[in-house]
Amino acid sequence: MADFGGGDLDALRNEAKEWIAANFPAGLKGAPNPMMREERSKPSPEQEAWRKAMGEKGWGVPTWPKAYGGGGLSPAEARVIQQELGRAGAYNPIGGMGVMMFGPTLLEYGTEEQKQEHIPPIVRGDLQWCQGFSEPGAGSDLASLQCKAEDKGDHFVINGQKIWTSGAQFADWCFCLVRTDTSKKHEGISFVLFTMHQKGVEVRPIPLIAGNSPFCETFFTDAIADKKNLVGPLNGGWTIAKRLLQHERSGLSGAGGGGFGMGGRGVVQMAKDYVGVDETGRLSDSDLRTRLILNEMEGRAFQQTAVRSMMESRSNSGPSSATSIMKNAGTHWMQQRAELTLEIMGHQGLGWEGDDFTAEELMAVRGWLGGKATTIYGGSQEVQSNIISKRILGLPDLTQNNGCGALPNVIPDGRQADPGPRGPSNPPWVPALRFASAGMTWEGTRFQRQTNFRDSIGNYLKWPF
């Protein structure tokens, strides 16, 4: 491949167009990404050929190092690949939790031996991973987990239960948080890897409103994890887990590098097909047209910010707490888009089964229902808002105060707050913090403010909204 340094993206764009034209099966043009479906079926020969081609090229994870099979591209170059896949109606067949969260974490914390063993199969899409974090008694307070790993010399024996294990029924391997020291909370957790194809692992899918569910209960009874698959130091898993969760939020928001190229018709073209156009070629429903434009504008602004966030995270050696902003903003945008999709399809968007509905229509209603969970899993909106308020805006932890609700005199942007008595009336700087403070209390009075990403966090961080 040519050297695309120095901002020479045109050569890469031309190569991408030619390569996609030569390798992407025409029969898959505009097809939804099969990895986005909750039901998994055996891939067709075309789907398998496309996965292998992208895996060998390394463009499924374009910014990952070439030493492990990745594309070795910069974020700007990866954006070119994303754009050309979109123009060709092609989806990215390399994805899942291995791409979204585990791979980036292992690249940072894993040994060279671990990287060589586990990264290339993720790059090729040969293996799928699941996440063993949450437990029935350890959700938001994840560090309370009790799934135990006993040291047996060259391996650990794992016993316990995990819940909401997404994709466990399809997974080949699991990255898991286990308790290796019962005398400490955060400092007694380790990060281990093990195969799901062993006798001591039982998976029970949890049906959800959308039908078949990716969520599972997972039970471990004397499951085995080799010592070579301990990531990081013993009892040092909490630090790794926090970084992985940042990658997860980035991926769930759509800001990660592995989630692009989903394929399928764009919502604007879908609206024209279902609703119709006027004599000028514009969407005939003017109200719907306005709302679609606003959603498209918000989406493009979000995607541009996501690219900037990706570039900043790379220069800062990983994602920051800003992933919480992206997660909240991205899931809101995608939920709004799902609502618009159903409105556009009308009664055809409410089909559950039968030959009267296309595969796209059946996926739309399931995606709309399943998408309701995106503001809960991966850290709920409330949890993300707390992270934003404390780690980005520098606000005090009001869940730990003494009841007086005292606030610091210095506001995060450097201005001084009024040193006089504070009450429920909003000080001058509150509008800039509306997003982060939504749902928080101040001297017993809840901020009655609409969450507004563009006017609050967008302006505060000077990001392009």
What would you report as the CA-atom Rg of the chain, rounded to the nearest whole angstrom?
23
DSSP H helices in 316-430: 322-345, 359-370, 381-387
Q: Of 348, 408, 342, give the one whose Cα is nearest residue 372.
A: 342
User: Positive or negative, the Cα torsion across 305, 310, 316, 321?
Assistant: positive
Helix axes 75-87, 9-23, angle to 10 degrees: 40
Q: What are phi and psi of 349, to 5 degrees?
A: -90, 5
Q: Which of 400, 412, 395 is closest to 447 using CA atoms?
A: 395
The 3-class SS string of 373-423 reads: HHHCCCCCHHHHHHHHHHHHCCCCCCCCCCCCCCCCCECCCCCECCCCCCC
Q: Which residues pair with 175 in a beta bridge?
A: 131, 193
Beta bridge partners of 131: 175
User: Would you say 459 and 465 are in contact if contact means Cβ atoms under 8 Å apart?
Assistant: yes
Q: Kindly give the pairing relationship between strand 216-226 and strand 230-231.
A: unpaired
15 is catalytic: no
Per the CB < 8 A criterion, the answer to whether 232 and 178 are in contact is: no
Query: The tokens of 172 are what?
Result: 């080949």
Among candidates 252, 263, 169, which has minimal Cα distance to 217?
169
Q: Name the maximum alpha-carbon separation found in the chain.
A: 76
Contacts of 280 by beta carbon, 8 Å cutoff, 6+ apart:
none
**Distance, C-alpha 13 to centroid of its chain:** 26
Strand, coil or helix: what is 283? strand
| Active-site position among 248, 298, 360, 361 | 248
230: buried, middle or exposed (CB in 10 Å: 19+, 13-18, 0-12)?
buried
Among 343, 301, 358, residue whose Cα is nearest residue 326: 301
How many separate helices (H) and strands (E) can be counted in the chain?
14, 10
Alpha helices in 73-203 (DSSP H): 75-87, 97, 103-109, 112-124
Alpha helices in 267-315 (DSSP H): 267-275, 286-315
For the annotated catalytic residues, the residue numbers are: 248
